[in-house]
Structure 1
Amino acid sequence: MKKVFKKIGSILFCLLPFLLAFGLQLIVSIIAVVVKSFSLLAEHPELLSDIELYLSTLMNSIMGDFSIWISAIYAVIAALALGFWYWKKFAPKKVPKRKPGEIINLKMFVGVLALMVGLQYLSTYIVGLVYLINPNWYYTYESLMENVGFTDISVILAIYSVIIAPISEELIFRGVTLHYAKKTMPFWVANIFQALLFGVFHANVVQGTYAFVVGLFCGYVCYKGDSIYLSILFHMLFNIWGTFVPENFLYSGNSVILQFLMFLLTVAITLLGFYLYSSGAKKKENTI
């Protein structure tokens, strides 16, 4: 019985990085909204006479770039906090810094690219499947993205999506969470566990579903390559494509045959990515 409680305690401890990140996000959001509300009242004191108008104006003012700035500030704080945690608990001590060639080789890099491209198209099928199950989930997600300003690419959005978010999220989920989870459960279970938390963290069905799959890929890349830098690279490349490549790139139209061929090509590219990355990681390990 004591071992069972210890096991449960270890699993619950794995939730701490997720809870810390969620708490930081909540605190930063509350502070930002409070500051914005006082600033709004200072500029327009007449709004106090009409609470409905005040709340409506406040909601409009915290959308768009302001919302993205909140996300960016939170992500930087979370990256610093979880980065420190990761460095203290899991970073190798008294080991010479590895050269880039000792972290990733050409075969692994090509594998990462293939996995990223494959995952991009797999995620579109996942979103389509969610839409078929319940279209309202998709419409809610689409409305959310528009309201928070994630549909119009700005400088701050690009920096957040391509640099800040990947570093922060990888440290939280593939850095600290996955490392703790691997101590108490097999890797495949630990990977599902952290990916599930990653999906829940996005707080909507559509984004959470494909974030779960992205989390699985990132966990594999991190574990197989034995470096958090590799999952950060993978995550950055995935977000670069999602941010800058047009949605209709290589769109197969309404042709069932072309769509089926596109799906087969997606599966083939993904499997090729797994093969190249796995064999490249094994070659790197043997070389070191």
Structure 2
Amino acid sequence: MEEKKTTVPAAEREAAAEAQAETGTGELHDRRKFPTVGDMLALLGIGLGAQIVVGTAAVLFMLLAGHGFDYKAMEPAALGKLMAALYFCSMSLVLAGILYYRRARGGSGPWARFSVRGLNPALLLWAFVLIFAVGVVLEPLLNLLPELSLNVGRGFWTILSLVVFAPVFEELICRGVVLSSLRARYGVVTAWLVSSLFFGVLHGQPAQVIGASVIGLILGYVYLATDSMWSVMILHALNNAVAYLAMVTGHGNALLIELVESRTLYVLIYIAALALTAVSGYMMLRTLRRMKNPSAA
């Protein structure tokens, strides 16, 4: 018996294609799957926008209350307390907004891991040395950019903001939500590179964008290798602690190239920093290999 062939009407084919896209099996749905380029721009907008909104609201509140707002005239301790409060509020809003947006766009799965492997002392030591050495290596480039304009006050509240709040919030956002979301769709390399750039741009000023992006590459690699927020939070805190010490000694915005008067001495220091970058990078990778394979030499 000859089989009867049926033809599906065009309207039904289109309806089926739309249903397929809505259920996640169609090519159209895949193109719109979180995170797209538009999603990354939206997340960055949330990050920068929340800081602007909180800062503007604080200025307006103080002006309406008759206190005025001249941060340059404020006592360092009072300024530190104010900046810490503003940072905590703005970054809480950023994290909440990014998590809400991620969920609304269909993002799912774990976004922050806390493996004990991230507490390896040798790894933390060599990674911190690498961050320090790379900072010196980047100086000729940073010297071409506008000087940093950064005043976050002094004292306990400034330390709390730099050494606790910043590492926790920024790592949860950049190595947590952003890197993990990108990794799930685009793979390790794209997630590593884009999340590092996201981390840099979130800092705003050109010199910070460059420096933070490069540090983000180191932190991102450590996070991917250890699967642990502990490691990157500790490294971030150590880096900020050194920055605070430089700031309280009057060298917060200064570069080594500006402090060393002898050209020959600076060249020698720079060569040493290059060597230290290579050595610390190798030792960090070696430590990671040993963590994954304890029997390795």
TM tier, smaller = 0.7 to 0.9
Secondary structure of the equivalent of 1:113? helix
Cα distance in 1, alignment partners of residues 181 and 276 from structure 2:
31
TM-score, length of structure 1 as denominator length: 0.72
1:256 aligns with: 263
Partner of 2:45: 19
> Partners in 2 of 1:221 and 1:28 — Cα distance?
32
Pairwise CA distance, 1:287: 4.4
Tell me: CA distance 1:122–1:164, structure 2 relative to 1, closer, same or farther (3 Å): farther
**Residues 224 and 278, structure 1, Cα contact 8 Å, conserved in 2:** no
Matched, 1:116 2:131: yes
d(CA) in 1 for partners of 2:71 and 2:266? 40
Deviates more, 1:242-251 or 1:187-196: 242-251
- TM-score between the two structures when normalised by the length of structure 2: 0.70
CA distance in 2, matches of 1:230, 1:204: 26
- Would the aligned equivalents of 1:76 and 1:168 in 2 still touch at CA under 8 Å? yes
Partner of 2:11: none
Shift of 1:241: 0.9
Separation of aligned partners in 2, 1:61 and 1:249: 23
Counterpart in the other structure of 2:272: 265
1:71 to 73, 77, 87: 87
Give the structure 2 partner of residue 192 of structure 1.
193
Q: Which has the larger radius of gyration?
A: 2
Q: 1:171 to 1:81 in 2, by over 3 A?
A: farther
Output aligned runs, 1:112-261, within 5 Å.
Answer: 112-130=127-145, 137-138=146-147, 141=148, 144-145=149-150, 149-150=151-152, 152-245=153-246, 246=249, 247=251, 253-261=260-268
Any gaps of 5 or more consecutive residues in structure 1? Answer: 44-56, 131-136
Matched AA of 1:38: L
Matches within 5 A, 1:34-53: 34-40=60-66
Percent of residue pairs bearing the same amino acid type: 19
Structure 2: tracts of 5 or more residues without a match: 1-26
Match of 2:118 in 1: 103
Q: Count residues in correspondence.
A: 253
Deviations 1:202-251 (A, max 9, x none): 22222222122222222122112221221111111111111114548987
Q: Larger RCO: Structure 1 or Structure 2 (Cα < 8 Å, ≥ 6 residues apart)?
A: 1
Contact kept in structure 2, 1:174 and 1:194, CA below 8 Å: yes
Q: Does the Cα contact within 8 Å between 1:110 and 1:276 map onto a contact in 2?
A: no
Aligned-pair CA distance for 1:273: 2.1
1:89 maps onto 2:115 in alignment: no
| C-alpha deviation, 1:270, in angstroms | 1.9
Tell me: CA distance 1:110–1:202, structure 2 relative to 1, closer, same or farther (3 Å).
closer
